[in-house]
């Protein structure tokens, strides 16, 4: 098992970070939120989980060991593969998922692309007593304030890290601002996906 990779970030693209380890570029599948914290050329350490299939070896990367452990519990459920487990962590933090399961909150799981009401109900039963209790409180999301907001700075940095010019990043942030203001809880991962779609249409 590859427990983690550590080294300078050699490349960033939608869904993938390449980390140079001993002269070898390791391609790691990451959520948009994890990618947003990485910077080209800067050192990074990602906890990893290697998923082995008959025709592929895929390395999934996470911000910390808790995310990796949660990913491994999530994908162990029937009907949940690594991509859906990663999507769940792209929408919710590990503690937010623990709270959702503890409270039987179907709506929280339905926010994840690929999970409907029936599947959410089944997963709540499957994950009961497996994810454990929340490690800490899940903070309430602060409303979007006027001026440069933390989400916009994080999104801008992620886009620049993916190779877009600062001007392009500014335009993309402006384009998704209405979406951010409409969210009850600012989801940087979802905003990054929307920004990338905006940029792809503009080119």
| Residue ranges covered by each domain of the chain | 4-62, 65-127, 150-202
Q: Which CATH number fits domain 65-127: 2.60.130.10, 3.40.50.720, 1.10.150.20, 1.10.3720.10?
A: 1.10.150.20
CATH class held by domain 150-202: mainly alpha
**The two structure tokens encoding residue 139:** 């903070």
Q: Residue 150: helix, strand or coil by DSSP?
A: helix
CATH architecture, range 4-62? Beta Barrel (2.40)
| pLDDT 10s digits, 26-71 | 999 998 888 888 999 999 999 999 999 888 899 999 999 999 999 9
Number of H helices and E strands in the chain, helices first, is 9, 5
DSSP-assigned letter for residue 163: T
Answer yes or no: are the C-beta atoms of 1 and 50 closer than 8 Å.
Answer: yes
Global confidence as pTM: 0.66
| pLDDT 10s digits, 75-131 | 999 989 999 999 899 888 999 999 999 999 999 999 888 889 999 999 999 998 898
Closest CA to 61 of 22, 7, 4: 4
């Amino acid at each position: 098992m590859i427990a983690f990779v550590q080294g300078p970030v050699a490349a960033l693209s939608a869904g993938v970070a390449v980390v140079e380890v001993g002269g070898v570029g390791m391609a790691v599948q990451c959520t948009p939120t994890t990618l947003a914290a990485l910077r080209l050329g800067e050192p990074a350490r990602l906890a990893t989980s290697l998923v082995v299939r008959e025709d592929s070896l895929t390395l999934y990367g996470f911000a910390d060991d808790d995310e990796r452990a949660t990913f491994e519990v999530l994908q162990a459920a029937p009907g949940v593969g690594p991509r859906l487990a990663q999507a769940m962590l792209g929408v919710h933090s590990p503690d937010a998922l623990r709270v959702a399961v503890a409270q039987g909150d179907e709506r929280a799981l339905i926010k994840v692309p690929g999970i409907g009401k029936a599947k959410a109900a089944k997963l709540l039963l499957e994950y009961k007593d497996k994810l454990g209790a929340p490690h800490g409180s899940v903070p309430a999301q602060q409303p979007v304030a006027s001026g440069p907001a933390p989400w916009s700075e994080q999104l801008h940095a992620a886009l620049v890290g993916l190779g877009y010019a600062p001007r392009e990043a500014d335009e993309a942030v402006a384009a998704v601002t209405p979406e951010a203001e409409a969210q009850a809880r600012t989801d940087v991962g979802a905003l990054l996906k929307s920004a990338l779609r905006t940029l792809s249409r503009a080119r």
